[in-house]
Amino acid sequence: MTTMTDPPRESFRLSMLINDTRYRSMTFQAIALFSLIVAIAYLANNLLTNLAAQGLNIAYDFLGDPAGYDINQRLIEYDSQSSNARAAVVGILNTLLVAFLACFMATVFGVIAGVLRLSKNWLVSKLMAFYVEIFRNIPVLIWIIIIFTIMTAVMPAPRAFRGDEPEATMLFGAFAFTNRGVYIPAPVWGPGSMVVVLTFLASIAGVIGYRRYATNLLYATGKLLPMGWPSLAIFFVPTILVYLIMGRPIGLEYPELGGFNFRGGIQIGAPLIALWFALSIYTGAFIAENVRAGIQSVSKGQTEAASALGLRPNRVMNLVVLPQALRVIIPPLISQYLNITKNSSLAIAVGYADITATLGGITLNQTGRAIECVLLLMLFYLTISLSISGIMNVYNKSVALKER
């Protein structure tokens, strides 16, 4: 039986590039590469021709030039003499600010609505279903404009707060809702306030440390330490004590009516409020659906098994249902956060100075550097998206079912 040898190796023929599956993929890829190069070369050639025809070039030195416009809402020092690059940084910070605020608020709305939608109370669950359907099916841009209109057209002007019998009054004497934005008290950091802040941070660490110690003790010895009131005590008592000992270094500056407008306090502009609120309620409706799906994905047997083991309802929730539900909830939740960040670019519709409105709006129009501005804008959003999805991948790996 020595005849069982490999068939003689066929020599390579040109027709095998089309007929042989081993080589055909090479042909396809070569064609694809060729057409890609041709397409890029064609587009680049058009670009260069068009730029040359208009006497333009690709350069980024405009970033160093003075921007020449003012930005109301800003987190860092900025004036109209600052550079375009600094305007872009102000925009980036504003984007991150509104994205962070809206993520937080949307999670609150979403979790509440999602849990209530599963309520046994017929009226409440129907009301939440109504909320979800209404907000999911109407464009977020319309919501932004509706809330912006409420903020600017319905809220009273600052002068309505004037006089002996004003048409509008401040909430608790501290919050003023006007058509120029909302005024809230600003903290005043006196000498020694650093100590209070440090104590506060230390007590947060203390709470975490205590809870970890209690859990370890429980697992090691079975001894159950109380969790609730010691945590509260560690959280509040030291900070309040230090605050009083240091002689109340942190005060509040209330907004006051002066001239034609409010003075003092922090002004939150109407565009920020509109964007923040609209993104929160819109995305909250989506998060509510994710939360509902997550809770429903935990089978009833799990709850029943946990109860049969003698766990109390809150422990069933904390130890059995939530860890399993979170595995389902968190990935779509993070992609909703990503959506909030991307949707915050709609700020341009209400004049909130985020990165799209500064770099992609005013700077682009003033310098005429369309290609550079749009490329930088895309680069920023890409960086954010890719880093968030990178974090999400790491998280997904850590909570993935450990299968053997």
| Binding stretches for other proteins (CB under 8 A) | 18, 25, 28-29, 32-33, 36, 43, 46-47, 49-51, 53, 119-124, 127, 133-134, 136-142, 145-146, 149, 153, 342-343, 345-346, 348-349, 356, 360, 364, 370-371, 374, 377-378, 381-382, 385-386
Smallest gap from Cβ 119 to other proteins, in A, equals: 7
Residue 287 buriedness (CB in 10 A; 0-12 / 13-18 / 19+) = buried
The smaller minimum CB distance to other proteins, of residues 50 and 297, is found at 50
Smallest gap from Cβ 388 to other proteins, in A, equals: 10
The smaller minimum CB distance to other proteins, of residues 88 and 242, is found at 88
Q: Which amino acid is present at 374?
A: V
Start-end of H helices in 75-192: 84-117, 122-136, 140-149
Give the distance between the most distant pair of CA atoms in the chain: 114
Smallest gap from Cβ 179 to other proteins, in A, equals: 13
Neighbours of 392 (CB within 10 A): 17
Phi, psi of 181 (to 5 degrees): 125, 180
The smaller minimum CB distance to other proteins, of residues 120 and 404, is found at 120
Smallest gap from Cβ 346 to other proteins, in A, equals: 7
The smaller minimum CB distance to other proteins, of residues 142 and 391, is found at 142
The smaller minimum CB distance to other proteins, of residues 108 and 138, is found at 138
Q: What's the rounded Cα separation, in Å, for the pair 329 and 392?
A: 12
DSSP 253-293: EPPEEETTEEESSEEE-HHHHHHHHHHHHHHHHHHHHHHHH
The smaller minimum CB distance to other proteins, of residues 257 and 364, is found at 364
Smallest gap from Cβ 153 to other proteins, in A, equals: 6
The smaller minimum CB distance to other proteins, of residues 234 and 377, is found at 377
Contact present, 350 and 274 (Cβ < 8 Å): yes
**Nearest in space to 102 (alpha carbons), one of 362, 278, 335:** 278
Q: Which amino acid is present at 121?
A: N
Length of the chain: 404
Phi, psi of 13 (to 5 degrees): -115, 155
Helix (H) or strand (E) holding 258: strand 256-258
Angle separating helix axes 322-343 and 270-297, nearest 10 degrees: 150
The smaller minimum CB distance to other proteins, of residues 193 and 335, is found at 335
The smaller minimum CB distance to other proteins, of residues 63 and 257, is found at 63
The smaller minimum CB distance to other proteins, of residues 51 and 171, is found at 51
Smallest gap from Cβ 366 to other proteins, in A, equals: 13
Smallest gap from Cβ 183 to other proteins, in A, equals: 24
Tokens 């694809």 map to which residue?
A: 32
Q: What's the rounded Cα separation, in Å, for the pair 161 and 262?
A: 10
Q: Which residues contact 210 (CB under 8 A, 6 or more apart)?
A: 230, 231, 234
Helix (H) or strand (E) holding 377: helix 370-399
Alpha-carbon distances, residue 285 vs 3, 100, 105, 290, 349 (angstroms): 72, 17, 12, 9, 22
Tokens 């040109």 map to which residue?
A: 14
